[in-house]
């Protein structure tokens, strides 16, 4: 991959692209031992050695984590305008900067994938790969067998038709029902809107799987890196080959 020098410096986390141009103009950037002042210069990170102020810069290592997002955290980095807590504070100790792949609602819990690998993130979100997202949804009321059958056939929502890949009753909890529901699409509030359209508003929602990834016993608020095996499976599910 050939990239412009300023882009490479920002990819490596040195600074923004604009500030990288300034570093280049100031003669602080060397490529293969030579000072470069031309802003249009392109480099091949596989072969070229880039230094800033005499120190070699390299792209951060690729990192892939899952977080068990608890209720009442916004899926965003940095501070929120509203003063609500954000997932940023749960991933402070992740050794590289990562960004969330998709989002969970403020009050949705469960599996959130975060990475600094843009290509993998794009594929996980791309509808072509149809990655199933499995949710446990506690809904108000007792879902009848008849309603369950109708759910399986889908429903017209305000932004078009929606049909789960699967939906089943896990158990009744008093007057409410715990459902397991699978969607591969990622429209906003899809699970809540879909279930509410059958007269069963969601009380609690938790994502327990994304493609080949399972939340397992990861405690709420905790994160962990994916294993080599999980990475191989995930990469393969989106048509990529994983090499460690």
Q: Hey, which residues are catalytic here? A: 105
Which region, judged by CB under 6 A, interacts with ligand URA, from 50-58, 102-110, 124-132, 230-238? 102-110
Residue 191 binds ligand URA (CB under 6 A):
yes
Q: Does 192 sit near ligand URA (CB under 6 A)?
A: yes
**How far is 168 from 151, CA to CA, in rounded Å?**
9
**Least distance in Å: CB of 8 to ligand URA?**
35
What does the block give as tokens for 104? 């969970």
Output 14 or 192, the one with its CB closest to ligand URA. Answer: 192
Q: How far is the CB of 64 from ligand URA (least distance, A)?
A: 20
Q: Judge whether 154 and 164 are in contact, CB under 8 Å.
A: yes
Give the separation between CA 11 and CA 105, rounded to whole angstroms. Answer: 29
Which of 104, 114, 167, 179 is close enough to bind ligand URA by CB under 6 A?
104
Q: Does 190 bind ligand URA (CB under 6 A)?
A: yes
Q: How far apart are CA 159 and CA 74, in angstroms?
A: 24
**Closest approach of Cβ 171 to ligand URA, in Å?**
21
Picking from 64, 65, 73, 63, the residue whose alpha carbon sits closest to that of residue 221 is 73
Query: Which one of 66, 67, 100, 108 is in contact with ligand URA (CB under 6 A)?
Result: 108
Q: Which residue has the tokens 């998709």?
A: 102
* Given 205, 210, 226, 237, the residue binding ligand URA (CB under 6 A): 205
Taking the complex as a whole, how short is the minimal distance between the CB of residue 205 and ligand URA, in angstroms?
6
Q: Which stretch binds ligand URA (CB under 6 A): 16-24, 85-93, 104-112, 120-128?
A: 104-112
Cβ 156 to ligand URA shortest distance, Å: 17
Of the pair 31, 179, the CB lying nearest ligand URA is at 179
CB nearer ligand URA, residue 108 or residue 116: 108
Task: Identify the residue among 105, 165, 180, 185 touching ligand URA (CB under 6 A).
Answer: 105
Single out the residue of 50, 54, 37, 35 nearest to residue 3, CA to CA: 50
Count of residues engaged in binding ligand URA, rule: CB under 6 A: 8
- Rounded to a whole number of angstroms, the minimum distance from the CB of residue 228 to ligand URA is 28
206 interacts with ligand URA by CB under 6 A:
no
Contact assessment for residue 156 and residue 193, using Cβ atoms and an 8 Å cutoff: no
Binding residues for ligand URA (CB under 6 A): 104-105, 108, 189-192, 205
């Amino acid at each position: 991959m050939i990239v412009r020098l300023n882009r490479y410096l920002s990819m490596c986390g040195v600074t923004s692209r604009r500030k990288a141009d300034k570093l280049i103009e100031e003669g602080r950037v060397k490529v293969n031992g030579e000072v470069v002042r031309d802003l249009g210069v392109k480099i091949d990170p596989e072969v070229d050695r880039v230094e800033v102020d005499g120190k070699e810069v390299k792209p951060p290592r690729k990192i892939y984590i899952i977080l068990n997002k608890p209720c009442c955290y916004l899926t965003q980095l940095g501070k929120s305008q509203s003063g609500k807590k954000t997932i940023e504070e749960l991933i402070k100790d992740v050794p590289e900067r990562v960004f969330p792949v998709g989002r969970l609602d403020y009050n949705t819990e469960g599996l959130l994938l975060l990475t600094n690998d843009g290509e993998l993130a794009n594929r996980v979100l791309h509808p072509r790969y149809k990655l199933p997202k499995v949710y446990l949804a506690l809904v108000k009321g007792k879902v009848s067998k008849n309603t369950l059958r109708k759910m399986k056939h889908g429903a017209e929502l305000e932004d078009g038709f929606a049909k789960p890949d699967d939906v089943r009753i896990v158990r009744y909890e008093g007057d409410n029902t715990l459902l397991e529901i699978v969607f591969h699409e990622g429209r906003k509030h899809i699970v809540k809107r879909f279930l509410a359209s059958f007269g069963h508003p969601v009380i609690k929602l938790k994502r327990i799987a994304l493609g080949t990834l399972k939340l397992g016993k990861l405690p709420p608020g905790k994160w962990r890196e994916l294993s080599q095996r999980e990475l191989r499976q995930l990469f393969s599910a989106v048509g990529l080959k994983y090499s460690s």
